Structure 1
């Protein structure tokens, strides 16, 4: 029987081919359906195509000083946007060669690349080559996590295909170069060029471009700061791939490999942290955190970097000197010097003035050996003598006691951990000075009175220790620094610098039964009838209280408001002694009105803000207000010039410029002030503790604040032209008897030249029969020379 006949006898045998076909079709259908379902599931929640056109990378907000220098940055990702036409071609070629050679040929998914990577990895027995295209990497970076799951990979492929439909290849490449992470906080190729080479993109050469192109695969692994040899090998690999792709010749690749890479970070120096934080808070309040940290704003400020450095140095120097006068608090702690692990010496010596922790390793009579940050040096006995003032743990600052020091062994022993600074490196011998970090705080505010621009601001000894900005936020009693406002009110009310005021004991009843207030002078004595000039020059308390009583508290308060004082003011006679708390910014700006011939301008820090498209979205507009007459402003300025020439501020005479200013000291020496100005710069200094601790019995404004002011202003004015205070047309000069405040009939020992506003010059000479010590006679003197 033939086979065909046998098969024909079994009908079931003819059904197998049909069943097999149905099975294949069913399995294929299920596979296709499953794939579609899986793709649909994986694609759920993916961004729409439109969002790709609206994509904006997170950009740095840059803050500029008054000279255009970048002084600070705000960002989530440190990125500098670089258009593709600004990226060197050899850098583009390097990225394509190492990341995606067929980038311009595939539709977002490179099948041949997958086969090539699979074969390479199988042949080499590991994962040595990836198959993700640049488009896939961009999709993952923009919209997906880095988790290694099948669903994420499918979503990545779908997004890559979408992006290739919506965007051109150049757009994808530009987005990739600006989005990808290059390590050490650098996002995007523009930021990477600065981070590693301190260059702009146009300055990069081929070896540098090849190095940067190799980083995105593993930025931490290939960091030259962590492993230079590995980073160099990665660069050589990139150059080899460029030669294979015919972007460069083998000879050019070899030449680039042999070129030494020189890395140079271009970091943004941390300048003016208190100022920068105030700017940041303003921007966040005005535009929101997202715009500030991602929007790429350009912020132009009023800060002068040189003046800022001078201010920070003056505060640190002055507070250290004050801290040493208060006394040494002893070693920080005690450790076993033999247990200290040796450190490698630093490549560079610490910055001058930087405080280091060091451990005492040996003590002799005349010197101490110190190990600090890997450096070995000595402290001579003469550089420790300030520590003769010792503070026990339970002593107050004012209770510090002097102890005679004849040997370094009286102060230190091996194992003591102390603070030091480098004094010198003479004869290859490192010399330290004994230091300690001050507990006392201070602040400086420097304003251009002609514009209101804040040129320098220091809000405390150390921003890392305390971010509280004492220049703007600390409300403290100004003491006698408030007196010029009272005397300016008197001048504005028709009095003159020659007007007499009585400096004599006076007692005021207080609201509490049986309690009285008796204002006293610093010298604990009284001087009788004196001119307003004399009263201000020597800061006579009793005379100022009487003057305030005559003027009325309300009039002084209203005048203060016109100068820009916003803080609440006491409505009693204690205002004469500066009992009402105000900020350093307020009083510095108020003095600035006097410096600017009575014109008030609101202090400001931001000149202009631009968005990422260079559109101006904020600009400071000047709005000067004539709140005080030029004559009154000049008269109070002339009186405060006397404070510096022969009064409580005479230490500032060493600057050698026309200056006016006033000291301020509060009860129990809790606050020390000096506020003063040249025609082109107004500066205020405050020194004190954040609490109610005393600075010490000798720490008046002249002793604690004025040295800081003098150091800063003396340096800051060097860059400004010498100017004199302009004399308004309505000012007259006349010879008077300073004992009586009236015109002289003939010159005497007490004759002086005084300034007056037009129409206020005394019309009669001094009465020869008047006894200047007879307080009652002065109540009867003629108008023009007497108190009213």
Structure 2
């Protein structure tokens, strides 16, 4: 219709002129329909009133479509679709008006109002480059200029695929149908909604010209980066008007409607270019460009010039922005349109806890300012989840909220980071317990290979501890022990458990040289806070991994529940395994030095106790680029990542020391846990002990078996065991030998004078020269024998190399896959004479870790233990 003020044409049914803003006459009507495929002219003010929607024709066409699809019960589905059909109003007015949606917290209180009134500038179709129009049509609906609003061939093809896979209807939407979905429907991919989509598409095609439909679509479609409509998107990505878009630029934008976040050229350039190539190939296929031009346009520069798209009048569009923005992403994935989410009058019930959210944001801000000042290069992210239900109470994606996709460092798949040692419970320790290991099974902490001139794996404190049980190894985050453990349980087994059971979906594939993944050394890929928090929530929930719940229910403007989610979990290991892991990770927070394993053996979370039962694990990457603390109590799990935003350089020290997991991420975790417990009045609970576990009080931490009469008291510990795995035999890692009374460093022989008896530790069976000796080597038996008749001091005695146990009594090699009870070395009975050669191992790895897999200097966490 023509505006009486400026004389410009507007789409039929418009209430206001898109050129000057004047209110248009109400007498204007829709254009008269012409022949099939022909463009329709805008109706004159005195034209005949528009025809009403012809339900009989729509029903007939819908039933015919269902017959073609061959879906049983088509008539019933059609009637159901018509019964629940949304009211059809003036489609153009729907693009500028609507009812705000309201977001509710987990207590049912409204916390935010959503509205779609910014980030969009309408432009008439004549001001959109033909390049953009052609690219969109070729990609989304190549028969657009000929079809009647739906494409029968595409529907038939999609139906055939669905019947083969027994699933709901796939794709097959025309541009007209997509516009109908934007304005009216949330596509849950059901047959009923597909029928409604077809019917609404038919009405659109009957009432509006192709140019008007394309006009409305281009001004309505969400194109990522906060941009709605082609004008805003052109500005956001290229700082251009839509009339100036080149073919390469148009091909990028035309590829966005399918997955705006995934193909965003600013945050995911490689995928955006791959999608651009697909669009260019479609344009060549349907004659918009020549096949020979595809490569030329693909190689042409895009001239990306990102512009910030902001919401007018507010620094953030709504309160609790990190959480609510993710709720919007969740609803988009469920098929809700942008128009419906913001302007559909929805009541969106979430699991947001405002108190927890504010505590988490304050903890991030406080500790980041304390450790790194206001420098935005250093960021942190956190998530709080109820492990029993999977309800996410809070998520903080960074220090300052940003609307740009990819800035949510807690949930974004574009913000993957090295896990450091926080991957250990997921990659090797739980799988080991599943295989029958116990928390006091012993592993030998000695390095085996050299990488770039350094022994690998390397422990942060430079100490190798020889015999060490799994519980203590995890508590001090011993890197060497973790690599050996992963080799024993099977590298592929550990990888499969982390990815398939715990759901860490972003780890790269592994091969025989990928041992560094045991300590978080990933050649590529990585983890984010969301996946790690969800995985760790499995432990306090007795081995059942819950599907996270962000949105519990959505009610539409008519009061109908259109979406709901109940707690849903998958048991991935037994409550007994979960309880053993709980007890092992409680050890990480033990408030003191661990006995019997050498000097400086403090748990990595020694200063992070919260005054009630809790468990957790630290993680640190090389150069302190990434710091983690993943921790929990029975009612709550909190995951924290902190690090250099882009990961390109090491972080500086904090006032409390190097930015390890316990220093940079741990205090954030501790503050959240303590303050939420207090604010929410969460009662103190112990981890629930299931049936089928047994406590044994006298276990040797150097053998993993019952302590012998020679076991030193500081090496005897008690622990819980899954029934059937508790030790029942005595271990012998110590031996009593006679040495010269005048020189205890010399073994006594008859004729050498007075002797005394001393207890010695048998050397770890995997140690061999020139490997670094573990701290306990001073407890090894002497290798020098006295010579009968020599001086009492033994100075004239002969010297030869002696081992500490006979070859017939040596334990299985480190690479054995035997049950863990056989991993602990045994020794000859006390007093048995030792053989004459030191222990040696023939089962050392054939090669070191590949670059990027955790070796020194290769990007893996070969430095900090935490």
Q: TM-score range by the shorter chain?
A: 0.5 to 0.7
Q: Is the 8 A contact 2:733 2:762 kept in 1?
A: no
Greater strand content: 1
Counterpart secondary structure, 2:537: helix
Give the counterpart of 2:550 among 605, 609, 612.
605
Q: Counterpart of 1:137?
A: none
After TM superposition, give the deviation of residue 716 of structure 1 in Å: 1.1
1:522 has 2:451 as partner: no
After TM superposition, give the deviation of residue 681 of structure 1 in Å: 0.6
Q: Counterpart of 1:153?
A: none
Distance verdict in 2 for CA 1:301–1:523, change over 3 Å:
same
Counterpart secondary structure, 1:300: strand
Distance verdict in 2 for CA 1:45–1:76, change over 3 Å:
farther
Alignment of 1:504-583 (within 5 A): 504-507=446-449, 518-560=456-498, 561-571=500-510, 572-580=514-522, 581-583=526-528
Alignment of 1:253-402 (within 5 A): 270-285=318-333, 286-324=335-373
After TM superposition, give the deviation of residue 741 of structure 1 in Å: 1.9
Q: Counterpart of 1:72?
A: 112
Give the counterpart of 2:100 among 48, 60, 63.
60
Give the counterpart of 1:44 among 43, 47, 62.
47
Q: Counterpart of 2:743?
A: none
Give the counterpart of 2:703 among 740, 745, 761.
740
**Between 659-668 and 282-291, the greater mean CA deviation after superposition:** 282-291
Distance verdict in 2 for CA 1:545–1:566, change over 3 Å:
same
After TM superposition, give the deviation of residue 71 of structure 1 in Å: 2.2
After TM superposition, give the deviation of residue 750 of structure 1 in Å: 2.3
After TM superposition, give the deviation of residue 281 of structure 1 in Å: 2.3
Distance verdict in 2 for CA 1:558–1:650, change over 3 Å:
same
Looking at structure 1, the residues matched to 545 and 688 of structure 2 have their Cα atoms a distance apart, in angstroms, of 16
Distance verdict in 2 for CA 1:550–1:693, change over 3 Å:
same
Q: Counterpart of 1:695?
A: 651
Looking at structure 1, the residues matched to 330 and 569 of structure 2 have their Cα atoms a distance apart, in angstroms, of 22
Q: Is the 8 A contact 1:475 1:582 kept in 2?
A: yes
Q: Is the 8 A contact 2:420 2:619 kept in 1?
A: yes
Looking at structure 2, the residues matched to 53 and 452 of structure 1 have their Cα atoms a distance apart, in angstroms, of 39
Looking at structure 1, the residues matched to 343 and 50 of structure 2 have their Cα atoms a distance apart, in angstroms, of 20
Q: Counterpart of 1:712?
A: 672
After TM superposition, give the deviation of residue 652 of structure 1 in Å: 1.9
Q: Counterpart of 2:393?
A: 455
Give the counterpart of 1:631 among 576, 583, 587.
576
Q: Is the 8 A contact 2:703 2:824 kept in 1?
A: no
Q: Is the 8 A contact 2:437 2:820 kept in 1?
A: no
Q: Is the 8 A contact 2:731 2:824 kept in 1?
A: no
Looking at structure 1, the residues matched to 761 and 111 of structure 2 have their Cα atoms a distance apart, in angstroms, of 60
1:648 has 2:584 as partner: no
Counterpart secondary structure, 2:632: strand
Looking at structure 1, the residues matched to 115 and 47 of structure 2 have their Cα atoms a distance apart, in angstroms, of 31
Counterpart secondary structure, 1:612: coil
Q: Is the 8 A contact 1:60 1:77 kept in 2?
A: no
Alignment of 1:102-117 (within 5 A): none
After TM superposition, give the deviation of residue 294 of structure 1 in Å: 2.0
Looking at structure 2, the residues matched to 563 and 483 of structure 1 have their Cα atoms a distance apart, in angstroms, of 12
Looking at structure 2, the residues matched to 322 and 477 of structure 1 have their Cα atoms a distance apart, in angstroms, of 21
Q: Could you give the per-residue CA deviations for residues 413-469 of structure 1, whole angstroms, max 9, x where no partner exists?
A: xxxxxxxxxxxxxxxxxxxxxxx4543111001111101111110001101486511
Looking at structure 2, the residues matched to 768 and 779 of structure 1 have their Cα atoms a distance apart, in angstroms, of 10
Q: Counterpart of 2:811?
A: 780
Q: Is the 8 A contact 2:100 2:342 kept in 1?
A: yes
Q: Could you give the per-residue CA deviations for residues 373-396 of structure 1, whole angstroms, max 9, x where no partner exists?
A: xxxxxxxxxxxxxxxxxxxxxxxx
After TM superposition, give the deviation of residue 685 of structure 1 in Å: 0.3
Q: Number of residues paired by the alignment?
A: 447
Looking at structure 2, the residues matched to 322 and 532 of structure 1 have their Cα atoms a distance apart, in angstroms, of 33
Q: Is the 8 A contact 2:705 2:824 kept in 1?
A: no
**Between 744-753 and 681-690, the greater mean CA deviation after superposition:** 744-753
Q: Is the 8 A contact 2:702 2:733 kept in 1?
A: no
Q: Counterpart of 2:722?
A: 757
1:674 has 2:641 as partner: no
After TM superposition, give the deviation of residue 614 of structure 1 in Å: 1.2
**Between 54-63 and 772-781, the greater mean CA deviation after superposition:** 772-781
Looking at structure 1, the residues matched to 393 and 106 of structure 2 have their Cα atoms a distance apart, in angstroms, of 8
After TM superposition, give the deviation of residue 271 of structure 1 in Å: 2.8
Unpaired stretches in structure 1, ≥5 consecutive residues: 1-39, 79-266, 325-435
Alignment of 1:467-486 (within 5 A): 468-473=407-412, 474-485=415-426, 486=428
Counterpart secondary structure, 1:713: helix
Greater helix content: 1
Q: Could you give the per-residue CA deviations for residues 195-216 of structure 1, whole angstroms, max 9, x where no partner exists?
A: xxxxxxxxxxxxxxxxxxxxxx
After TM superposition, give the deviation of residue 785 of structure 1 in Å: 6.1
Looking at structure 1, the residues matched to 348 and 51 of structure 2 have their Cα atoms a distance apart, in angstroms, of 34
Q: Is the 8 A contact 1:742 1:785 kept in 2?
A: no
After TM superposition, give the deviation of residue 587 of structure 1 in Å: 1.2
Q: Is the 8 A contact 1:672 1:686 kept in 2?
A: yes
Counterpart secondary structure, 1:71: strand
Looking at structure 1, the residues matched to 44 and 732 of structure 2 have their Cα atoms a distance apart, in angstroms, of 106
Looking at structure 2, the residues matched to 46 and 542 of structure 1 have their Cα atoms a distance apart, in angstroms, of 81
After TM superposition, give the deviation of residue 619 of structure 1 in Å: 0.6
Unpaired stretches in structure 2, ≥5 consecutive residues: 1-42, 55-86, 119-314, 592-602, 736-759, 766-804, 813-818, 826-866
Counterpart secondary structure, 1:595: coil
Q: Is the 8 A contact 1:744 1:751 kept in 2?
A: yes
RMSD: 2.9
Q: Could you give the per-residue CA deviations for residues 534-553 of structure 1, whole angstroms, max 9, x where no partner exists?
A: 11010011111111111111
Q: Could you give the per-residue CA deviations for residues 513-571 of structure 1, whole angstroms, max 9, x where no partner exists?
A: x8887221010121101000111010011111111111111100121121121112452
Q: Counterpart of 2:613?
A: 658
Looking at structure 1, the residues matched to 344 and 491 of structure 2 have their Cα atoms a distance apart, in angstroms, of 50
Q: Is the 8 A contact 1:762 1:785 kept in 2?
A: no
Q: Could you give the per-residue CA deviations for residues 364-411 of structure 1, whole angstroms, max 9, x where no partner exists?
A: xxxxxxxxxxxxxxxxxxxxxxxxxxxxxxxxxxxxxxxxxxxxxxxx
After TM superposition, give the deviation of residue 508 of structure 1 in Å: 5.9
Q: Is the 8 A contact 1:570 1:579 kept in 2?
A: no
After TM superposition, give the deviation of residue 745 of structure 1 in Å: 4.5
Q: Is the 8 A contact 2:583 2:615 kept in 1?
A: yes
Q: Is the 8 A contact 2:114 2:318 kept in 1?
A: no
Counterpart secondary structure, 1:684: strand
Looking at structure 2, the residues matched to 633 and 314 of structure 1 have their Cα atoms a distance apart, in angstroms, of 29
Counterpart secondary structure, 1:742: coil
Distance verdict in 2 for CA 1:768–1:459, change over 3 Å:
closer
After TM superposition, give the deviation of residue 767 of structure 1 in Å: 2.3
Q: Counterpart of 1:726?
A: 688
Looking at structure 2, the residues matched to 744 and 645 of structure 1 have their Cα atoms a distance apart, in angstroms, of 23
Q: Counterpart of 1:431?
A: none
